[in-house]
């Protein structure tokens, strides 16, 4: 007697409601890095900056976790602010998560850059400051300034948090004083960008993408019939045409992409092809990041992730985002193959 196929869901049909309270509650390290600690980071001997960054972050964690002296004669000291710069796949998110764990998740807020800007949009600026000012540490992963409004907003937010004595830690693929280059007229907002840069101690993390060492990140796509059958065998799987998902992403705010994946154990996409429009490609990058955060395997039919972004995109101002997405998507595709055998 054969078992009935699993009910297959649709990512393109998911329209989640995300109340502001959930946006705050979700400011935690991603599931993918639940076990990340300084002790589990494998620093490469070929890149001494990795071990140096670990040592410095351990010092920073000790400073942040130290009880705050109160009273008339207590000395006011500025809270640490560190900024990890390096290529994709060198373990910056692992280190940022390790810092949050070392300080304590109950007194830390952890989110991507876009999650913080979305939080301001949902709560309002003052309510966001009040909520985050209760923390000892605010971690900002994937720090990117994609438009002038974000530049001014984040500069003001970090200034207010620092004034409240909140420690800051960020990761990015771009040095602070180069944020915005290739995406908007950064020179017009140089003062704001420089103010951001001046707040941080920059920790350089050199190295190669670790995912290239363990998995094939340019996996061959599967036939459409194969992934349809596979999706029917995995409880919690979704099955969609790639174009349907791209269209749907334009209708859902990026702050809700994570909630779209609630209960999803596998994402299967048919008809995967190169994306030619930049706004569509950037939305796809956010979805890939949320899939990776939640360890959701993918199955790709059509062209797979190979050639997903155009040569022009891979040479432009958002190239580091696109390369990160390709690296992560390749790893998730290998996870999908392993899941269905």
130-143 pLDDT, tens digit per residue, is: 999 999 999 998 87
Confidence grade of residue 13 (pLDDT, cut at 50, 70, 90): very high
Last residue of a domain, one of 178, 204, 230: 204
| 325 in the same domain as 247 | yes
Q: Tens digit of pLDDT for each residue in 201-220?
A: 888 888 876 655 444 445 56
Last residue of a domain, one of 204, 236, 251: 204
> What pLDDT is recorded for position 339?
84
6: phi then psi, degrees, rounded to nearest 5? -70, 150
Comparing CA positions, the residue from 161, 166, 164, 151 lying closest to residue 197 is 151
> What pLDDT is recorded for position 306?
72
Q: Is the pLDDT of residue 166 over 80?
A: yes
**27 alpha carbon, distance to own chain's centre:** 12
Confidence grade of residue 338 (pLDDT, cut at 50, 70, 90): confident
Let me know the angle formed at the C-alpha of 339 by 330 and 332, rounded to the nearest 5 degrees: 20
Residue 176 located in a structural domain: yes
Higher per-residue confidence, 175 vs 285: 285
| 59 in the same domain as 143 | yes
| 216 in the same domain as 200 | no
Residue 21 located in a structural domain: no
Spatial contact of 184 and 148, defined as CB atoms under 8 Å apart: yes
* Mean pLDDT of all residues belonging to the chain: 83
Mean pLDDT of 185-190: 45
CA atoms within 13 A on the CB side of 160: 16
CATH number for the domain including 133? Answer: 3.40.50.300
- Which pTM was predicted? 0.78
| 198 in the same domain as 248 | no
Residue 51 located in a structural domain: yes
Higher per-residue confidence, 149 vs 173: 149
> What pLDDT is recorded for position 75?
43
* Count of structural domains within the chain: 2
Last residue of a domain, one of 171, 204, 237: 204
| 245 in the same domain as 170 | no
> What percent of the chain clears pLDDT 90, i.e. is strictly above it?
44
Q: Is the pLDDT of residue 311 over 70?
A: yes
Least confident of 66-75, 144-153, 268-277, 300-309: 66-75
Q: Tens digit of pLDDT for each residue in 56-66?
A: 999 999 999 88
Length of the chain: 341
CATH number for the domain including 264? Answer: 3.40.50
How far CA 223 is from CA of 3, 130, 183, 226, in Å, comes to 23, 51, 37, 5
Higher per-residue confidence, 197 vs 27: 27
Please name the helix (run of DSSP H) or strand (run of DSSP E) that holds residue 13, with its range, or none: none
| 238 in the same domain as 99 | no
Residue 318 structural domain: 211-340
How far CA 127 is from CA of 133, 134, 162, in Å, comes to 10, 11, 16
C-alpha 61/C-alpha 221 separation (Å) is 43
Cβ burial of 74 (10 Å; 0-12, 13-18, 19+) is exposed
Confidence grade of residue 6 (pLDDT, cut at 50, 70, 90): low
| 297 in the same domain as 278 | yes
Residue 130 located in a structural domain: yes
Mean pLDDT of 263-286: 93
Q: Is the pLDDT of residue 190 over 70?
A: no
Cβ burial of 312 (10 Å; 0-12, 13-18, 19+) is exposed
Residue 19 located in a structural domain: no
| 135 in the same domain as 216 | no
127: phi then psi, degrees, rounded to nearest 5? -65, -35
């Amino acid at each position: 007697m054969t078992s009935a196929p699993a009910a297959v869901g649709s990512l393109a049909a998911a329209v989640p409601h995300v109340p502001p309270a959930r946006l705050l509650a979700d400011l935690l390290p991603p599931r993918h890095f639940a076990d990340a600690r300084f002790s589990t980071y494998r620093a490469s001997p070929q890149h001494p900056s990795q071990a140096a960054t670990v040592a410095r972050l351990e010092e920073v964690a000790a400073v942040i976790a130290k009880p705050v002296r109160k009273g008339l004669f207590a000395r006011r000291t500025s809270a640490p602010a560190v900024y990890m710069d390096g290529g994709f796949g060198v373990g910056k998110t692992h280190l940022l998560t390790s810092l949050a764990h070392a300080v304590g998740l109950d007194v830390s807020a952890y989110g991507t850059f876009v999650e913080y800007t979305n939080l301001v949009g949902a709560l309002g600026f003052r309510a966001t400051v009040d909520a985050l000012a209760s923390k000892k540490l605010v971690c900002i992963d994937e720090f990117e300034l994609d438009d002038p409004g974000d530049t001014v907003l984040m500069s003001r937010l970090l200034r207010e948090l620092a004034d409240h004595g909140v420690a800051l830690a960020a990761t990015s693929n771009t040095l602070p004083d180069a944020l915005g280059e290739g995406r908007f007229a950064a020179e017009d907002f140089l003062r704001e960008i420089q103010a951001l840069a001046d707040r941080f101690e920059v920790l350089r993390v050199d190295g190669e993408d670790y995912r290239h060492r363990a998995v094939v990140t340019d996996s061959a796509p599967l036939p459409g019939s194969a992934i349809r059958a596979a999706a029917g065998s995995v409880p919690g799987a979704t099955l969609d045409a790639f174009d349907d998902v791209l269209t749907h992403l334009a209708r859902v705010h990026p702050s809700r992409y994570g909630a779209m994946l609630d209960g999803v154990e596998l994402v299967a996409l048919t008809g995967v092809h190169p994306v030619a429009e930049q706004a569509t490609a950037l939305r796809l990058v956010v979805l890939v990041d949320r899939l990776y955060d939640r360890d959701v395997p993918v199955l790709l039919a059509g062209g797979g992730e190979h050639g997903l972004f155009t040569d022009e995109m891979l040479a432009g101002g958002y190239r580091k985002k696109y390369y990160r997405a390709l690296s992560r998507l390749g790893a998730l595709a290998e996870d999908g193959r392993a899941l269905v055998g």
